[in-house]
């Protein structure tokens, strides 16, 4: 039996893509997963699928850009379960209008508000209970664009993901003495619905050669199943056929 049996895992952006794959993988490993996202109907349907396979899952709709709602959601989980052992911040987005010639202030705030501020709000909400328990794991889904500087993803996305990567390491700096560890997971292209928001969405053939959500779910599970004295600070993961390289040949 996985050492995650009995753990409570809170996953944002859990309705699709990496967040959903992470919820599925952690539930399969024995954790009880709380799935958050903005679409309550989709969350509930996916949670029911996990339960039908023998896992333990529940859905709590949430807009992570709403600081008060995030705090209320965390308090509800803590009231019901008594603890949050694992937090996976997977809520994220980008806009088609992402370059300096078409970026708007509203678009910038939307991307930064979800990708960066939303992650801060959830982390801020769970740290007190993790400190009390002297244990906790936080996995922040950053990006290849949180380590390198691809042109394709644009200013707001690159800025927000670099900030997420940096913020993750500050958790390790300040909270390692409290038994809390954090990992910035930095994937290159993953075949998720966010690709549909690109100015030119990739073809089905290109998506088939990208990382798949399940690959990231397995990575999340790997990090979560490591013993508590192990901290994986950062993982950079890419498809073998990496267009960040191919297109520069």
What pLDDT does 246 receive?
83
Q: Write down the mean pLDDT value for the chain.
A: 96
What pLDDT does 223 receive?
98
Three-state SS letters, 93-117: CCCCCCCCCCCCHHHHHHHHHHHHH
Say which of 99, 121, 157, 245 is annotated catalytic: 157
Active site residue 99: no
**CA 16/CA 22 separation, integer angstroms:** 10
Band of residue 151 on the pLDDT scale cut at 50, 70, 90 = very high
**CA 203/CA 102 separation, integer angstroms:** 24
Percent of the chain predicted with pLDDT > 90:
93
Q: Compute the average pLDDT of residues 92-113.
A: 96
Band of residue 249 on the pLDDT scale cut at 50, 70, 90 = very low
**CA 21/CA 33 separation, integer angstroms:** 12
Percent of the chain predicted with pLDDT > 70:
98
Class of domain 8-246: alpha beta
**CA 180/CA 42 separation, integer angstroms:** 31
What is the radius of gyration, based on Cα positions, of the chain? Answer: 17
What pLDDT does 247 receive?
66
pLDDT in tens, 199-231: 889 999 999 999 999 999 999 999 999 999 999
233 is written with which tokens?
Answer: 């600070």
**CA 44/CA 61 separation, integer angstroms:** 9
pLDDT in tens, 1-37: 578 999 999 999 999 999 999 999 999 999 999 999 9
What pLDDT does 248 receive?
59
pLDDT in tens, 159-204: 999 999 999 999 999 999 999 999 999 999 999 988 988 888 999 9
- Identify the CA nearest to 136 among candidates 87, 184, 72: 87
Three-state SS letters, the chain: CCCCCCCEEEEECCCCHHHHHHHHHHHHCCCEEEEEECCHHHHHHHHHHHHHCCCEEEEEECCCCCHHHHHHHHHHHHHHHCCCCEEEECCCCCCCCCCCCCCCHHHHHHHHHHHHHHHHHHHHHHHHHHHHHCCEEEEEECCHHHCCCCCCCHHHHHHHHHHHHHHHHHHHHHHHHHCEEEEEEEECCECCHHHHHCCCCCCHHHHHCCECHHHHHHHHHHHHHCCCCCCCCEEEECCCCCHHHHCCC
**CA 208/CA 191 separation, integer angstroms:** 7
């Amino acid at each position: 039996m996985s050492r995650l049996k009995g753990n409570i895992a809170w996953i944002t952006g859990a309705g699709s893509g990496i967040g959903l794959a992470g919820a599925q993988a952690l539930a399969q490993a024995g954790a009880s997963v709380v799935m958050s996202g903005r679409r309550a109907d989709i969350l509930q349907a996916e949670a029911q699928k996990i339960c039908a396979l023998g896992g333990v899952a529940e859905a709590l709709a949430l807009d992570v850009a709403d600081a008060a709602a995030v705090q209320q959601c965390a308090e509800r989980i803590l009231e019901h379960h008594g603890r949050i052992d694992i937090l996976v911040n997977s809520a994220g987005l980008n806009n088609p209008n992402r370059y300096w010639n078409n970026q708007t202030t509203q678009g910038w705030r939307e991307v930064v508000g979800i990708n960066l501020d939303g992650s801060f709000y959830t982390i801020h909400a769970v740290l007190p209970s993790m400190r009390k328990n002297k244990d906790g794991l936080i996995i922040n889904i950053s990006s290849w664009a949180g380590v390198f500087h691809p042109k394709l993803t644009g200013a707001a996305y690159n800025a927000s993901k670099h900030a997420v990567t940096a913020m993750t390491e500050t958790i390790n700096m300040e909270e390692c003495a409290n038994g809390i560890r954090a990992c910035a997971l930095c994937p290159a292209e993953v075949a998720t619905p966010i690709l549909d928001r690109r100015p030119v969405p990739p073809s089905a053939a290109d998506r088939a050669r990208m990382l798949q959500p399940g690959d990231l779910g397995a990575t999340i599970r790997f990090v979560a199943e490591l013993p508590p004295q192990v901290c994986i600070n950062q993982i950079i993961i890419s498809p073998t056929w990496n267009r960040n390289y191919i297109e520069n040949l």
